[in-house]
Structure 1
Amino acid sequence: MIYIYVTGPAGSGKSTFTYALQEWMRNNQYEAITVNLDPGVENIPYRPDVDVRDWYQLQDIMEEYSLGPNGAQILASDLIASEIDEIREEIVSMDADYAIIDTPGQLELFAFRTSSDLIIRGLSERESYMAFIMDPMLAISPSGYVSLLTLSASVFFRFYLPYVNIINKIDLLDDSEIFKIRSWSEDVDTLYMDLRQERQSMIKEYALEMFKAMESLGVNFKPLFVSSRDLRGMEDVYSNIQLTYSGGEDLEKR
């Protein structure tokens, strides 16, 4: 089983991506389950096959420990890590090809907590894959795009797992905007030029220097483009995962 951790900033569409990827896989006869890791989420567009709310709910933690929402979320991540063996048993019992893991809405609650290392190791570190979801409306400006790459790179350096950047909600972009982002990912000079043409400010210079630093470190720039609404691009995500773990070979359909 391959564990796909869906991460990214709040509002980028992690939960809708989780739902859409599972739908695409099932439509193509691959067995995929969903796992919700957010004890505080109230509404999600899918029914989780494994749900941490069956172990801990944010409101209960707030009441029991007299904590606010943020403190309760932090404690919840530690409590979830303490139950990871039991959670893993439930996941494994479903005998799926993929476990699509929807991480908490606030990126820092997963990406920058030591409990997340315990969760990943407790599930299956060797078969883990990180999908970083990007907000398309921020990605259409050069400095916004570099900011997202910087955030993505920080998550990559935290976990050192196979990962891919994914721009979700491309149905909100027109063809020219998609072309522009593709050109930045494929031609470094184009991104350099567009960064320099943005308003003259220290912010622009910071973005340019951050981009240069990531380039020198070999950070993967090229995102995949998907729509959770109409499932466009989901085949590319599947192919990228298979390339990582099976040399590009297709799974046997069920």
Structure 2
Amino acid sequence: MPRYAQLVMGPAGSGKSTYCSTMVQHAESLNRSVQVVNLDPAAEYFNYPVMADIRELIQVDDVMEDDSLRFGPNGGLVFCMEYFANNFDWLEESLGHVEDDYILFDCPGQIELYTHLPVMRQLVEQLQQWEFRVCGVFLVDSQFMVESFKFISGVMAALSAMVTLEIPQVNIMTKMDLLGPKAKKEIEKYLDPDMYSMMEDNSECFRSKKFKKLNKAICGLIDDYSMVRFLPFDRTDEEGVNIVLQNIDFSIQYGEDLEVKEPKEVDEEQPNLNYDDIFQDKVSS
């Protein structure tokens, strides 16, 4: 039987550890077994049990304290991840060989790991050799995405990870529970964006004549291929969390030996879910 994995990615502070903790609690309520592996060698705290912790293999602080290396925080983290890539046998031993595993990999926040460094691609290929079906889960902070130029930056980061890893990817806007009603309404247009409409935005990003052609080309790339959409993630909304999990399960066909199911659509009459069809067709692959 296949095994299943989520690579939980995103910039520092985007809510990766909170996402993992919420998913573990939600899975328990569904009587599902979900395990977490910490792959952040700089992690200081997380409030969920782990089946494996990369800090048992290598830690950023130890690398930075090595006078022969003289790395700072970012260089130290890249060194740790490259060391990890050369020691996948540690991960294989930690994971064991249990069929039907469902594992969340809580990844570091350095964006270069998902853009131009080969480490995460090597991890994906190794997991696939171990018969894992892997889905990328790319998180962005909803509080960061409320302006068009910031949104485009987040979209390009998500798109870069998608192109680099070549696996199904679900993009998520986190911390929706921290937004007020007005901000939630405002952010709806960013969940399933119409990039050409954003060209009419009055932000400085689109007023600049110098970069107008570049901005138009970027918006066209995103819009023409329709590759990046977002699901809202409110950790206090059990139904919303379940919809996110259903979309991810669908992308890796979790439980397909029982019955293949389409992701659940939102009932517009449900309370606390007034996003108007934003959950439909959100899986990017």
Quote the Cα distance in structure 1 between the aligned partners of 2:192 and 2:43: 37
Deviates more, 1:180-189 or 1:8-17: 180-189
Q: Is the 8 A contact 2:148 2:201 kept in 1?
A: no
- Tell me which amino acid in the other structure corresponds to 1:66: L
Question: Per the alignment, in what secondary structure is the counterpart of residue 162 of structure 2?
Answer: helix
- The answer to whether residue 172 in structure 2 is matched with residue 170 in structure 1 is no
What's 2:93 paired with? 89
- Tell me which amino acid in the other structure corresponds to 2:70: L
Question: Per the alignment, in what secondary structure is the counterpart of residue 228 of structure 2?
Answer: coil
Change (3 A) 1:186 1:56: closer
Deviates more, 1:12-21 or 1:55-64: 55-64
Quote the Cα distance in structure 2 between the aligned partners of 1:119 and 1:34: 16
Change (3 A) 1:60 1:10: same
- Tell me which amino acid in the other structure corresponds to 2:75: G
Q: 1:159 aligns with which of 142, 147, 165?
A: 165
- Identity over the aligned pairs, expressed in percent? 24
What's 2:194 paired with? 188
Deviates more, 1:72-81 or 1:219-228: 219-228
Quote the Cα distance in structure 2 between the aligned partners of 1:248 and 1:157: 26
Deviation at 1:53, TM superposition (A): 0.7
Quote the Cα distance in structure 2 between the aligned partners of 1:53 and 1:187: 39
Q: Which has the higher helix share?
A: 1
Q: Is the 8 A contact 1:88 1:123 kept in 2?
A: no
- Residues 17-61 of structure 1: per-residue CA shift (max 9 Å, x gap): 111111111221111001111112112232322101111122222
Q: Is the 8 A contact 1:30 1:97 kept in 2?
A: no
What's 1:112 paired with? 116
What's 2:266 paired with? none
Q: Is the 8 A contact 2:36 2:51 kept in 1?
A: yes
Change (3 A) 1:195 1:84: farther
Quote the Cα distance in structure 2 between the aligned partners of 1:157 and 1:134: 17
- The answer to whether residue 225 in structure 2 is matched with residue 213 in structure 1 is no
Deviation at 1:229, TM superposition (A): 4.9
- The answer to whether residue 76 in structure 2 is matched with residue 72 in structure 1 is yes
What's 2:48 paired with? 46
- State TM-score, norm by structure 1: 0.86
- Residues 139-187 of structure 1: per-residue CA shift (max 9 Å, x gap): 1112222221111101111111100110000011123332333234446
Question: Per the alignment, in what secondary structure is the counterpart of residue 35 of structure 1?
Answer: strand
Quote the Cα distance in structure 1 between the aligned partners of 2:121 and 2:108: 15
Quote the Cα distance in structure 2 between the aligned partners of 1:236 and 1:152: 20
What's 1:144 paired with? 150
Quote the Cα distance in structure 1 between the aligned partners of 2:168 and 2:91: 23
Q: 1:28 aligns with which of 17, 22, 30?
A: 30
Quote the Cα distance in structure 2 between the aligned partners of 1:187 and 1:87: 38
Quote the Cα distance in structure 2 between the aligned partners of 1:49 and 1:229: 25
Deviates more, 1:4-13 or 1:231-240: 231-240
Deviation at 1:73, TM superposition (A): 1.3
Deviation at 1:107, TM superposition (A): 2.2
Question: Per the alignment, in what secondary structure is the counterpart of residue 138 of structure 2?
Answer: strand
Deviates more, 1:197-206 or 1:226-235: 197-206
- Residues 60-94 of structure 1: per-residue CA shift (max 9 Å, x gap): 22334432222221211111112213312322446
Give the unaligned 5+ runs of structure 1.
none
Deviation at 1:116, TM superposition (A): 1.9
- Residues 84-135 of structure 1: per-residue CA shift (max 9 Å, x gap): 1331232244656411111112222354321222222112266110111011
Deviation at 1:234, TM superposition (A): 1.5
- State TM-score, norm by structure 2: 0.77
What count of residue pairs does the alignment treat as equivalent? 248
Give the unaligned 5+ runs of structure 2.
254-259, 264-285
Change (3 A) 1:214 1:235: same
